[in-house]
Copies of this chain bind each other. A is one copy, B any other.
Amino acid sequence: MLEGYKGKALEILSSIGADIGDRIVIIKPSISIEGILMPSYSLSNDIIVIKMDNGYNIGISVKDSKVALKEKKKVKTEKLNEGEIGKSEIKIISTGGTIVSSIEYDTGAVRPALTTEEIIRFMPEIKEIGKIDAEVLFSILSENMTPEHWIAIANAIGKAFKDENIGVVVAHGTDTMSYTAAALAFSLKLPGPVVLVGSQRSSDRPSSDAAINLYSSVLLAKVGKFGEVVVNMHGESSDSYTLVHRGVKVRKMHTSRRDAFQSINDRPLAKVIWKDKKVEMLRSDYIPKKELNVDAKFDNRVFLLKYYPGLDDSFLDFLVNSKKVRGIIVEGTGLGHTSTQLVDIFRKATRDGIFVGMASQCIMGRVNMNVYTTGRLLQEAGIVPLEDMLPEVALVKLMWVLAHEQDIERIKTKMLENMVGEINPRHEIDFFPRWYHGD
């Protein structure tokens, strides 16, 4: 299947019998470019996309070009040894993202192809941890995740534990990984670890974090003593350890660094030192293993409103009067404020039964709406201060709560109940990171 191709490009590729994954060459008057045929993302009918040997994808116009097939895709498989076959201990559920494409690229596979064999060929040391079993649930970039995907992942995790796996690894794109982690955390009671893992750099780059992140996640899924949803990613810019973050207290804080994921208003749960095959717990207050329960329902009639000076009230008016929202998370300024001009609209919203909760765009710290007049006025209008919850986590929690409760007082109670550690009642001074100030 020539995924994504149409028009002239499709015609040429079909005529030479090329498939995605085959090695082709495109010959132009002045240059010829060789590489692996990739699915097309282009809107144009004339573009062929190939992955060059340097790892980069390039789109090339077929105009004035001759296209030839060099080599059919090799289907390589790694034969498993006898001891590796049989009931798995660790389930790897793959949903897509750079980590999956890393494995695909390294193993020569193209698109959804994360078999157990491929994972073991990619990182043979994984075999030593325990018996793994890989499943491709879907293969999407994480910016395309929706609450429906969260439900499918939650169910797949439930099934994996019912099949007597002791831990589950979810391979996921990094863009929305923390949203998914929060959604799973609110939905699952767990008999073992659920480890979300991704990769910030694909494996065609020497600095790829795919192998270490995957290895340490499988290890953590095997030996982790906790029954909660965590994110396991590079802990610092070198390869020394990965950090295990509580799924409701983690955020992607950098667009490209390998250590982009950091615990916010919280300490990481553990470190995995992959070279020593060691999980070092940093806290003892993890959620213990419990009997499995899957309860994944989300109501996405919500909105995340980030306040800024000059915000036109009419947007908020539309939102409140649209009958399309049952809840709003306001990402306010400072301790949890917006312009007092919005107080009346918020009062109307809460009187109409819309839940309005306040988090802070500062990201770090806790909202406190008792210090300044504005906070008190907003509270009088019915806005609920959401402690130190991350705005994104508050939003996901609200989607979950709205799918489970109808009564506004019950919704408020649930939003302020510390379900899985999303509220940290006590902040320590070193939660705030240290910026370098040239000393």
A positions within 8 Å CB-CB of B: 41, 43, 141-147, 149-150, 174-176, 179-180, 235-237, 243, 252-257, 259-260, 262-263, 267-268, 271, 282, 298, 300-304, 306-312, 314-315, 318-319, 322, 324, 331-341, 360, 362-368, 372-374, 376-377, 380, 392, 395, 399, 429-438
B41 touches A437 (CB 8 A): no
Residues A257 and B334 in contact, CB atoms below 8 Å apart: no
Copies in the complex: 2
Chain B: minimal CB distance from A331 (Å)? 7
Q: Please, how many angstroms separate the alpha-carbon atoms of A9 and B254 in the complex?
A: 52
Task: Please tell me if the beta carbons of A282 and B438 are within 8 angstroms of each other in the complex.
Answer: yes
Could you tell me if A304 and B302 are in contact, using CB atoms closer than 8 angstroms?
no
Give the interface centre of A43, A143, A179, A315 by most chain B CB atoms within 10 Å: A143
Q: CB-CB < 8 A to A308: which residues of B?
A: 176, 179, 304, 392, 395
Q: Are B334 and A268 in contact (CB under 8 A)?
A: no
| Contact of B315 with A319 in the complex, beta carbons under 8 Å | yes
Is A315 within 8 A of B337, CB to CB? Answer: no
A309 and B176 contact, CB distance less than 8 A: yes
Q: Which residues of B contact A335 (CB under 8 A)?
A: 175, 255-256
Shortest distance from the beta carbon of A102 to any chain B beta carbon, whole Å: 13
Closest Cβ–Cβ distance, residue A165 to chain B (whole Å): 26
**Measured between C-beta atoms, what is the minimum distance from A366 to chain B in Å?**
6
Task: Determine whether the beta carbon of A175 is less than 8 Å from that of B333.
Answer: yes
Q: Which 4 A-B pairs have the closest CB atoms?
A: A255-B365, A300-B310, A433-B433, A175-B333
Q: How far is the CB of A388 from chain B (nearest CB, A)?
A: 8
Q: State the CA gap A433–B380 with chains docked (Å).
A: 38
